[in-house]
């Protein structure tokens, strides 16, 4: 199975499902593999993202930018230290460092969080793809912070449902370019994959519903320290939404300035808090972490012009 970048013209004398048509016409690709690519907006019909069950008619133009999966049937455990915040028989909460990929993927087949988890524990959920044991949700490689891992299938299904129904709350802190005029607000803008660069997401009226809540914690001469809370969890959601209101995240060279203002390997964005109900006990669980030291050093260099309260910045020391 190889990567595919091409355009097909549908040839059919009757309506046929998109995923079925592609599975029948692309060697080495299964229908489930194709559905995953469609869900990631890597398949466009007449220049628009569609569902796997979209009915093709003769002459429809299908644009493909498919990325083949790595051979991940046997992901190797690796002895990589993890910052484990909490662990029991059902869940494990990890503070992921900036630069670590969550699970193996093309271009990152090893040295991931999954490789480290497999070394630490034999008990991980087996829901979904074999190369994502325990992984209920993801955060970007260059975003640091908290991620919850399921240690059995029952916990995985329960946590996944909480995320889908927005009962699992995730809070992030970011340093953004410029001063926010409104100290709190909600960004509701649909997000879809860029039609010019499939590694990027963009605001797209035909994209998926995305909702982000924000609260400004501190203002500096040229920056704002902001808390973001996700209502939905689209790919790159905070980064795309922040850019869309004119305040891209500092050191985000994909959605912000090409030349970073500070010496960071990636964007100044950290998942500092996660809250969910324990899958077995149903007790409310909440965990938090500090931003990393290199983030703290940047905050200490900046002179605040306004803070939420006198203790705000002490939380980042």
**Contact partners, residue 231, CB within 8 Å, separation at least 6:** 166, 211, 212, 213
- Long-range Cβ contact pairs of 11-17 (< 8 A, separation 24 or more): 11/58, 12/56, 12/57, 12/58, 13/58, 15/55, 15/56, 15/57, 16/55, 16/56, 17/52, 17/53, 17/54, 17/55, 17/56
Instruction: Look up 13 and say whether it is catalytic.
Output: no
Q: How far apart are CA 146 and CA 82, in angstroms?
A: 12
Q: Which of 60, 65, 90, 140 is catalytic?
A: 140
**DSSP of 149-194:** EESSHHHHHHHHHHHHTT-SEEEEEEEEES--SSSEEEEE--EEE-
Q: How far apart are CA 204 and CA 194, in angstroms?
A: 8
**Structure tokens belonging to residue 47:** 């220049």
**Which bin fits 151, alpha (ψ -120 to 50), beta or left (φ > 0)?**
alpha
Catalytic residues: 140
């Amino acid at each position: 199975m190889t990567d595919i970048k091409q355009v097909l013209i549908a040839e059919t004398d009757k309506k046929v499902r998109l995923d079925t048509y592609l599975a029948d016409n692309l060697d080495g690709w299964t229908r489930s593999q194709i559905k995953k690519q469609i869900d990631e907006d890597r398949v466009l019909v007449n220049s628009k993202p569609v569902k796997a069950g979209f009915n093709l008619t003769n002459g429809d133009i299908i644009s493909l930018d498919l990325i083949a999966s790595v051979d991940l049937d046997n992901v190797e455990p690796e002895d990589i230290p993890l910052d484990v915040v909490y662990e029991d028989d059902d869940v494990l909460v990890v503070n992921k460092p900036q630069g670590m990929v969550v699970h193996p993927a093309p271009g990152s087949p090893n040295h991931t969080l999954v490789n480290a988890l497999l070394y630490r524990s034999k008990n991980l959920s087996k829901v979904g793809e074999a190369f994502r044991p325990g992984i209920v949700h993801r955060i970007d490689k260059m975003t640091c912070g908290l991620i919850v891992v399921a240690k059995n299938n029952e916990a995985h299904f329960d946590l996944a449902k909480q995320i889908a129904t927005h009962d699992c709350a995730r809070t992030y802190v970011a340093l953004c370019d410029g001063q926010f005029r409104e100290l709190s607000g909600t960004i509701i803008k649909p997000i879809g994959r860029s039609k010019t660069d499939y590694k990027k997401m963009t605001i797209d009226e035909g994209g998926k519903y995305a909702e982000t809540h924000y609260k400004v914690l501190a203002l500096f001469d040229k920056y704002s320290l902001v808390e973001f809370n996700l209502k939905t969890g689209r790919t790159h959601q905070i980064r795309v939404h922040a850019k869309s209101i004119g305040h891209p995240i500092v050191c985000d060279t994909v959605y912000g300035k090409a030349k970073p203002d500070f010496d960071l390997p990636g964007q100044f964005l950290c998942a500092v808090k996660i809250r969910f109900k324990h899958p077995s006990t149903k007790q409310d669980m909440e965990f938090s972490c500090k931003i990393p030291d290199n983030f703290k050093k940047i905050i200490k260099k900046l002179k605040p012009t306004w803070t939420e309260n006198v203790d705000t910045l002490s939380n980042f020391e």
